[in-house]
Amino acid sequence: MKIELVKLPYEAGALAPVISKQTIEFHHGKHLQTYVNNLNNLIPGTKFENADLETIVKEADGGIFNNAGQVLNHNLYFTQFSPSGGGKPSGKLAAAIDAAWGSFENFQKEFEAAGAGLFGSGWVWLAKDTDGKLSITKEQNAGNPVTKGLTPVLGFDVWEHSYYLDYQNRRADHLKELWKIVDWEAVNKRY
């Protein structure tokens, strides 16, 4: 199965000023495209040749895992934003966040702290278990909650390439701004 570059559901400059057009062009058009190309070069002749992306992430290791993990992570990341995003989740997701953290604002603080406190490169995720219980996970490098039997619901990229052109070394500022573009309708569907 050939892995394709995910199509953005918005124009490259649509998320500015939270994420600039230049960052989207580099992050999606170059970084993610490289992971897609690498993965397509690595899987022929392996047991993953016809596997879906999530299966590859759950079962692979080494270079195949790293590239597949980054493709899956970025697919989720880029499709959870909208130029008309922001606000708060609704419905069952909102109720689950309130049950776990007491309020959306408490969840935001804990989520941002987890992302800002992750040493080096990686991801911070809101994930659910099979019962719908939510947790915040911090994953190094290409890590994704699916490797722990969880379903990723919302993920913020804390690799420097995701924010350095716009925020330099101010990761915490970047994390605070991302809430303004979260497409809660798309995120709610993952829950």
Task: List the CATH number of the domain containing 37.
Answer: 1.10.287.990
Among 11, 43, 78, identify where a domain stops. 78
Percent share of the chain, pLDDT over 90? 97
The domain containing residue 107 runs over which residues?
91-190
CA 77, chain centre distance (Å):
3
Q: Say yes or no to pLDDT of 134 above 90.
A: yes
Same domain as 40, residue 122: no
The model's pLDDT over 18-46, given as tens digits with 9 standing for 90+, comes to 999 999 999 999 999 999 999 999 999 99
Domain at 140, CATH number = 3.55.40.20
pLDDT-derived band at 165, boundaries 50, 70, 90 = confident
Which are the contacts of 19, defined by CB distance < 8 A and separation ≥ 6? 27, 81, 163, 166, 178, 181
